[in-house]
């Protein structure tokens, strides 16, 4: 009998199954890989669509004869919509479920992306980017929560962070697609691609994506889907019994619960981390293609080079997740944010030599996007099932305020002809602020930040 079968049978024979303990005992298997692939696909299109406007910005500015920095408000409008989507979508999913929200979000931003390809002016583009953002914002917190709720504790960080690679791959693919499609078919073709793919994924989500079994148990312990999902998860039949979950339950407004049970300080510091790093991430993602193009590099090469920022972020979670699962969130994230500040500052001093520029862009993406994926996993670990989507959604929502400010401020600085070194030194400051906030969480040892304690009590995840 395998380890998984033994743990399930023993628990099932007792007729009372602790669901969280069962999930923690399981090895990573086919169910987990399928879940990771589906959630990564959801945030893949989120990443693609969210970054597409940045990659087509140079071509769009030329086609519409726009001044430098003129697309800053458009970038900000899309990110403001994402903020609204995260703030609303997270709490809503804690009432109706993660799966339903993910399917709705895919349909919503797929249709909006198709509409984006038809706009004919700045004002129309600004409006549709805001509306699209609402759908994009609802997807991410629910994908993070869903993966987190099926992750064994000893693999929690690396699973959530591996899923987030879908976002980075989507954003990177935006650069590759832009480089291939824009010269041949014009900028609207990028948004046609970004609209068709999520709509094609919807039937797959409907059929294969499981609802969170923890969510189902908290809402209705007699839901017939629970036993079927547990059997799929365990990979073996489970005798009928009573499932339990040793977590607090809430019926009140879920946002309030982010500040109860000793979570107030951890929540506020987490919001600082998200605000600062998403300001950085979107400042760089939106303006890197333009800044690199302004160095005398062609639009296509600038798009490919900028894509290395997201490729670096795709590689990072596997190393950082492994380190976090062994050493805890705080120490790893403090070092990563410090390295991010150094890599961003270095971007301002490298010349137009393509090899060194590509290496530096990759390093910046590794640290900035990698740190964000680690912060996502940290957010998911801070909150119980009943408010997990709310906690992650509000952290992302507050962070999106930073993501709105970053591109807009970048546009203002470009319009005022800031030098490239000054622009990237500005980008290093938020990374240092995020590092300080994580360090404060580490030093204060907020009760909600229990991952390190879990590691100490269970170092091998047994």
In a domain, 7, yes or no: no
In a domain, 5, yes or no: no
In a domain, 303, yes or no: yes
- CA–CA distance, 218 with 24 (Å, rounded to integer): 18
What share of the chain in percent tops pLDDT 70? 89
Given pLDDT bands bounded at 50, 70 and 90, which one contains residue 103? very high
The stretch 353-364 carries a mean pLDDT of 88
Residue-level pLDDT at 355: 83
Residue-level pLDDT at 371: 94
Residue range 230-286, pLDDT digits in tens: 888 877 766 655 777 766 565 555 788 888 778 889 999 999 999 999 999 888 887
CB 391 within 8 A of CB 449: no
Averaged confidence pLDDT in the chain: 82
Residue 437 pLDDT > 60, yes or no? Answer: yes
In a domain, 4, yes or no: no
User: 10 or 134: whose pLDDT is higher?
Assistant: 134
Residue 446 pLDDT > 80, yes or no? Answer: no
Residue with tokens 């140079």: 58
The stretch 46-59 carries a mean pLDDT of 76
Please classify residue 460 by burial: count the beta carbons closer than 10 Å to its beta carbon, then call 0-12 exposed, 13-18 middle and 19+ buried. Answer: exposed
In a domain, 6, yes or no: no
Number of domains comprising the chain = 1
CA-closest candidate to residue 249, choices 221, 209, 226: 221
Please classify residue 184 by burial: count the beta carbons closer than 10 Å to its beta carbon, then call 0-12 exposed, 13-18 middle and 19+ buried. Answer: exposed
In a domain, 11, yes or no: no
Q: Which domain holds residue 268?
A: 17-244+252-456
Please report, for the domain that includes residue 139, its CATH number.
Answer: 1.20.1250.20
Residue 449 pLDDT > 80, yes or no? Answer: no
Residue 56 — φ and ψ, nearest 5°?
A: -90, -5
Given pLDDT bands bounded at 50, 70 and 90, which one contains residue 450? very low
Q: Is 223 left (phi over 0), alpha (psi -120 to 50) or beta?
A: beta
């Amino acid at each position: 009998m395998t380890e998984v079968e033994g743990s399930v049978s023993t628990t099932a024979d007792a007729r009372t199954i602790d669901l969280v303990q069962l999930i923690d005992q399981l090895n990573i298997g086919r169910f987990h890989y399928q879940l990771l692939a589906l959630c990564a696909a959801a945030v893949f299109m989120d990443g693609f669509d969210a970054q597409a406007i940045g990659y087509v910005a140079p071509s769009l500015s030329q086609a519409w004869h726009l001044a430098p920095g003129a697309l800053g408000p458009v970038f900000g409008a899309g990110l403001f919509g994402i903020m609204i989507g995260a703030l609303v979508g997270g709490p809503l999913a804690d009432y109706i479920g993660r799966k339903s929200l993910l399917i709705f979000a895919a349909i919503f931003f797929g249709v909006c992306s198709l509409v984006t390809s038809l706009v004919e002016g700045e004002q129309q583009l600004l409006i549709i980017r805001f509306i699209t953002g609402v759908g994009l914002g609802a997807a991410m917190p629910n994908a993070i929560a869903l993966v987190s709720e099926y992750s064994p504790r000893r693999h929690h960080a690396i699973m959530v962070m591996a899923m987030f690679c879908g976002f980075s791959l989507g954003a990177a693919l935006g650069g590759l697609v832009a480089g291939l499609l824009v010269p041949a078919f014009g900028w609207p073709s990028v948004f046609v691609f970004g609209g068709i793919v999520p709509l094609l994924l919807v039937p797959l989500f409907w059929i294969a994506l499981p609802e969170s079994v923890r969510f189902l148990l908290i809402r209705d312990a007699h839901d017939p889907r629970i036993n079927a999902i547990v059997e799929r998860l365990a990979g073996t039949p489970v005798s009928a019994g009573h499932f339990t979950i040793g977590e607090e339950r809430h019926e009140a407004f879920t946002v309030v619960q982010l500040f109860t049970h000793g979570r107030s300080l951890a929540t506020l510091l987490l919001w600082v981390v998200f605000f600062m790093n998403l300001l950085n991430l979107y400042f760089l993602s939106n303006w890197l293609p333009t800044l690199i193009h302004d160095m005398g590099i062609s639009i296509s090469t600038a798009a490919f080079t900028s894509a290395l920022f997201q490729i670096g972020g795709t590689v990072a979670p596997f190393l950082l997740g492994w380190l976090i699962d062994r050493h805890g969130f705080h120490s790893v994230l403090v070092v990563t944010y410090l390295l991010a500040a150094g890599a961003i500052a270095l971007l301002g001093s490298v010349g137009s030599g393509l090899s060194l520029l590509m290496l530096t862009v990759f390093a910046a993406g590794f640290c900035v996007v990698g740190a964000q994926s680690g912060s996502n996993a940290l957010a998911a670990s801070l909150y119980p099932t009943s408010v997990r989507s709310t906690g992650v959604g509000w952290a992302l929502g507050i962070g999106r305020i930073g993501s709105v400010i970053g591109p807009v401020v970048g546009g203002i600085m470009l319009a005022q002809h800031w030098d490239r070194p000054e622009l990237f030194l500005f980008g290093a400051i938020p990374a240092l602020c995020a590092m300080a906030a994580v360090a404060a969480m580490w030093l204060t040892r907020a009760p909600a930040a229990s991952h390190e304690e879990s590691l100490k009590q269970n170092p091998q995840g047994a």
